[in-house]
Amino acid sequence: MHSREEKGMSPDISIDFCGLRLASPIVLLSGCVGFGEEYTRVEGFSNTDVGAIVLKGTTGQPRLGNPPHRVTETAMGMINAIGLQNPGVDHVVRHILPTLDFAETRFFANVCGSTIDEYVEVTRRFDDSPIDAMEINISCPNVKEGGVQFGNYPEMSARVVEACRKATKKPLITKLSPNQTDIRENARRCIEAGSSALSVINTISGMAVDVKTRRPVIGNVQGGLSGPAIKPIALLKVFQVAEVAKPHGVPIIGQGGICSATDALEFIIAGATAVGVGTALFYDPFACKRINEGLSAYLREHGFDSVQALTGSLNTSQEPHRGVC
């Protein structure tokens, strides 16, 4: 049998994700691309460069979100506390989904709620829509109810997943919080409750202070830290969760500070099937194209036919790493 390279074919960067074929392992993260339209205004940006787009967090009823300021830049990252501002699930299903081109890429909904009943309501509405999959947001660190409260307790996380699982047959992706004691236990409980995949990780709780006024910069006081600053933490969490998810065949979307092909490769080697890109888009709208090109180049250089062959290929032997004191 001849390899793709021997046949003159480029390495395959498409992946199988919960039975869905994604053209690239790149997933655009919820909150960073609005409802899929944020970057269509940028000349040269194409949805075909990504495997899937996760839409903005959606609740049962419209939400205005948190008071300003809601975003601030930090060293190697940013803090956001948008507060799930959105027009409500009915508006999204009726007026926004019909404007999306499902022939270009996959679209995942991001399901949010303050109660389990609200999560179920939103899940049911998206179940009766063309949406390809749903991400359950149980780990948002910038809302005062729901969100992070559910995500930091394995029992509550499992209850949300179990209830949503009964409301749909579509793939369910549970977004795990890094702000908890044992992310592996939470992952295990969510898988047992019916989660088809896991997003690892959501943002890390943080804050910023204006020293002139001695007041919090963020109107909500705290928000979610994202960007390159959290990458080492996210990478470890992906590796830890992969130990639990792999035996069950549950794929992971690894995310947290991915800005380059090297970043994406680290997450894939550590155990991620797909990789989420978010904060990088704010300063480089063409990051996804560069990452895809870098992935293909790496696969050719190292003799891999597909990017999926790299997933979980981390060598954890105890051989000393040369060049490090």
* Cβ atoms of residues 207 and 223 within 8 Å: yes
User: 123-136, pLDDT tens digit by residue?
Assistant: 999 999 999 999 99
Residue of 32, 140, 190, 259 marked catalytic: 140
Q: What does the alpha-carbon distance between residue 295 and residue 13 come to, in Å, rounded to a whole number?
A: 7
Q: Is residue 316 part of a domain?
A: no
Q: Is residue 324 part of a domain?
A: no
Predicted pLDDT of residue 7: 54
Buried b (16+ CB within 10 A) or exposed e, 42-57: eeebebebbbbbbbbb
90 pLDDT more than 90: yes
Q: What percent of the chain has pLDDT over 90?
A: 82
Q: What element of type H or E holds 155? A: helix 154-165
Cβ-based neighbours of 94, under 8 Å, separated by 6 or more: none
* Cβ atoms of residues 220 and 147 within 8 Å: no
Q: Is residue 170 part of a domain?
A: yes
Q: Is residue 138 part of a domain?
A: yes
Give the residue, 167 or 318, on which the prediction is more confident: 167
User: 172-192, pLDDT tens digit by residue?
Assistant: 999 999 988 899 999 999 999
Predicted pLDDT of residue 41: 74
How many other C-beta atoms can be found within 10 angstroms of the C-beta atom of residue 220?
22
Cβ-based neighbours of 174, under 8 Å, separated by 6 or more: 135, 136, 138, 157, 161, 190, 195, 197, 198, 199
Q: What does the alpha-carbon distance between residue 145 and residue 117 come to, in Å, rounded to a whole number?
A: 14
What is the SS3 assignment for 197?
A: strand
Q: What does the alpha-carbon distance between residue 8 and residue 137 come to, in Å, rounded to a whole number?
A: 42
Total domains present in the chain: 1
**Which range among 2-11, 61-70, 109-118 shows the weakest confidence by mean pLDDT?**
2-11
- Domain of 131 in residue numbering reads as 15-310
Q: Is residue 106 part of a domain?
A: yes
- Tokens at 190, concatenated: 């969510």
* Cβ atoms of residues 134 and 109 within 8 Å: yes
Give the residue from 30, 17, 33 showing the smallest Cα distance to 202: 30
Q: What does the alpha-carbon distance between residue 311 and residue 40 come to, in Å, rounded to a whole number?
A: 31
Instruction: For residue 293, give the CATH number of its domain.
Output: 3.20.20.70
At 142, the pLDDT band (50, 70, 90 cuts) reads low
* Cβ atoms of residues 307 and 272 within 8 Å: no
Average pLDDT over all residues of the chain: 92
Q: What is the DSSP letter of 306?
A: B
Q: Is residue 140 part of a domain?
A: yes
At 2, the pLDDT band (50, 70, 90 cuts) reads very low
- Tokens at 89, concatenated: 């699930």
Give yes or no: 32 in active site.
no
Q: Is residue 8 part of a domain?
A: no
Q: What does the alpha-carbon distance between residue 222 and residue 148 come to, in Å, rounded to a whole number?
A: 12
Q: Is residue 45 part of a domain?
A: yes
Give the residue, 129 or 2, on which the prediction is more confident: 129
Give the residue, 143 or 120, on which the prediction is more confident: 120
Q: What does the alpha-carbon distance between residue 88 and residue 178 come to, in Å, rounded to a whole number?
A: 27
Q: What percent of the chain has pLDDT over 70?
A: 92
Crossing angle of helices 261-270/287-302, nearest 10°? 60
Q: What does the alpha-carbon distance between residue 224 and residue 268 come to, in Å, rounded to a whole number?
A: 24
